[in-house]
Chains A and B, each alone.
Chain A
Amino acid sequence: MLLTPDLVPVISASGQSARVDEKIAARFKTGTTVRVRNLHPTTHTRLPGYLCGKVGTVEIDHGVFIFPDTHAHNLGEKPQHCYSIRFKATEVWGPTAAANDTLRVDLFDDYLDPA
């Protein structure tokens, strides 16, 4: 499909949500402790490397979304839950980080293990 100027207001106003309207079970309940898998794909991913191996808590279940890691490479939508995971700053950066501060990162089911 060719993107033409007359389509710009249409796509700008409608957008394209990656949310999937499917009942897919969440692997983790909110409040659960999880560990980020030690993954280093050389292909597309939304997993920031600085979190590998870190332990956090499932704070928000955002619902089911297309999995970008497969979708980006035409390997299917692989819909799954995406969560906001809370990490203590000290868990990620060590004792010099402020004790009160936290990181909240949106991570997909496939990036997580139970901790």
Chain B
Amino acid sequence: MAKTKPAPVESETAIRVRALEAILIEKGLIDPKAIDALVDTYETKVGPRNGAKVVARAWFDPAYKQRLLADATSAIKELGFSGMQGEDMVVVENTDSVHNVIVCTLCSCYPWPTLGLPPVWYKSAPYRARTVSDPRGVLKEFGTILPEDVEVRVWDTTAELRYLVLPKRPAGSEALGEEALAALVTRDSMIGVTVL
């Protein structure tokens, strides 16, 4: 038996990212400190609490909801969220008859200004392949079981639009204010893999 623990094997993705980073630095295209600043921005400053505020406002203010569904980019910008990977937004609404779920089969397109960086599972090959081919199976694994008469609407966001799901407002939340409503909204419900 070996006395020392073997070094953890670096994943293929990690190796590839390190190689890309090295090339970008070598070619003088990026200062390594800029990479740290980018990671810090999307790990600590921008995240799903932004999206939760958008959802809560839509539940609270019917006129805002109307604007959000008609022109998501502008309506989200009203709350101060815009920019990289959220330049052209679409918000899709869950109702009694439609449940929306977001995936990017080609890579990991995701609305950064409202949700931050995508979770690891969202980028994984099984999620990307199975969400389009067996959405109800994937949803079940997230604990989401929907009646047959509900249309599961899978958005494969492979082009330039970025999508956010407007979940159904939970029953019993009628008396809550905007801030309390925002606290109910989870990241996964805005990807559409869970309901509230």
A residues whose Cβ falls under 8 Å from a Cβ of B: 1-5, 7-9, 11-19, 46-48, 50, 60, 62, 65-66, 68, 82, 84, 89, 92-93, 98, 100-108
Contact = CB atoms under 8 A, between A and B. Distances in A.
A26 to B, nearest CB: 15
A39 to B, nearest CB: 14
Given A12-B83, A101-B153, A82 B159 contact: yes
B154 A104 contact: yes
Interface residues of B, number: 40
B141 interface: no
Contact of A101 (B84, B152, B159): B152
B149 interface: yes
B60 interface: no
Contacts of A4: 31, 33-34
Contacts of A17: 87-88, 160
A98 B38 contact: no
Interface of B: 28-31, 33-34, 36-38, 41-42, 46, 82-88, 90, 105-106, 132-133, 135-136, 148-161
Contact of A104 (B83, B148, B155): B155
7 contacts: A5-B31, A15-B87, A19-B88, A50-B105, A66-B160, A100-B149, A101-B151
Contact of A7 (B34, B90, B148, B152): B34
A103 B106 contact: no
The 8 closest A-B pairs by CB, nearest first: A106-B159, A17-B87, A8-B37, A15-B83, A15-B84, A15-B87, A5-B37, A101-B152
A3 B136 contact: no
